[in-house]
Amino acid sequence: MRFGVTLPNAGYGGEPETLIALAVEAERAGWDGVFLWDTPYAAAPDEPPPSFADAWALLAAIAVRTERVRLGTMLTPLAWHRPWLIARQAATLDRLSGGRFTLAAGLGAPPDEGPWFGGDEPDRRTRAAMLDEALAILDGLWSGQPFAFAGDHFSLREVAFTPTPVQRPRVPVWVVGAWPRDPASWPRRKSMRRAIRYDGLLPNVFDRDGAPVFDASEAEALADLRAMRDWVERERPDGGPFDVVIERELAPLDAEAKRAAAARWEEAGATWWLDDAWWEMWNHPDDPEPLRQRIRRGPPR
């Protein structure tokens, strides 16, 4: 299993140099990846305005200050972007980092973020269709071959996109998949099938009523992950390398407990554990030192 940190590019993370320094610390401490939240987030009128920094600009700066760690978004809501711009940004970052970029993609958070920046908020079904089209456009553009696309939401005249990413056949793409505990709810299988066409799964679990599960015990969550792993192994077309990515907080555990937890999740099928550092930022919004100390302790090898 590989270990990454999800750094908070809000609060003190809105200061670029602070987050760049934390990313450099993560590489020195032996972490395998550094990931940033990609969102146009801003405060609602009745909230205090947060300090926030752009993930793509930060990742570019981190790319030139690091040599080894994998860099990525966590995650990019493609329905809120022009996919050809994401294709260009991702290819540039991949070349800048020497082939270390991963794009995590999904529908985006619940629908109170998008409309703040104009336009109507597409419903979940529409965003899913936009995600499918955007992923197809990324694949076509990153091929470097002449490519055109005409969809219901995005259209692109024939172009040849160069330079291509360093990584071939594309930048690795991790995609959110919705896993229903109720077998009768398999209409959501479509999002799982979308994920297995790409390079990794970001699991979301839904209960029998169709609501997302946020409070599962570790035993329940491990059982869900084993079921997903078994399904992926049966259904994935080519059976090649495939990541299963979990985001969980490591901070409350001591070193031995962290290693034991990592072993349980690896046995269940996880290939990446992203330490969710957002809680440190919410608990200490003006002080990066607790997160810095947590990063310096390194991953639970």
Q: What is the pLDDT along the chain (301 residues), one digit of tens a residue?
A: 999 999 988 888 889 999 999 999 999 999 999 999 887 665 555 666 667 899 999 999 999 999 999 999 999 999 888 999 999 999 999 999 999 999 999 987 655 544 444 556 678 889 899 999 999 999 999 999 999 999 999 999 999 999 999 999 999 999 999 998 876 665 557 899 999 999 999 999 988 777 888 888 999 999 999 999 999 999 997 778 899 999 988 876 788 999 999 999 999 999 999 998 777 777 888 899 999 999 999 999 8
Q: Which residues span the domain enclosing 62?
A: 2-176+243-296
The model carries a pTM of 0.94
Token output for 215? 């409070």
**What size, in residues, is the chain?**
301
* CATH number of the domain residue 272 falls in: 3.20.20.30
Q: Report the run of H or E that residue 77 belongs to, with start and end.
A: strand 76-77
Q: Structural domain tally of the chain? A: 1
**220 domain-assigned:** no
Burial of residue 286, with CB atoms counted within 10 A of its CB: 0-12 exposed, 13-18 middle, 19 or more buried: exposed
Structure-block tokens of residue 97: 């980092």
Please tell me the distance from the alpha carbon of residue 172 to that of residue 208, in angstroms, as a whole number: 32
Decide if 214 is inside a domain. no
Asked whether residue 211 is assigned to any structural domain, the reply reads no
Domain assignment present for 45: yes
- Kindly state whether residue 185 falls inside one of the protein's structural domains: no
Residue 133 lies in a domain: yes
Q: Does residue 43 lie within any of the structural domains? A: yes
Residue 118 CA to residue 122 CA, distance in Å, equals 12
Q: How many CB atoms sit inside 10 A of residue 160's CB?
A: 11
Helices (H), 97-214: 124-142, 189-196
* Residue 108 placed within a domain: yes
The answer to whether 220 and 264 are in contact (CB under 8 A) is no
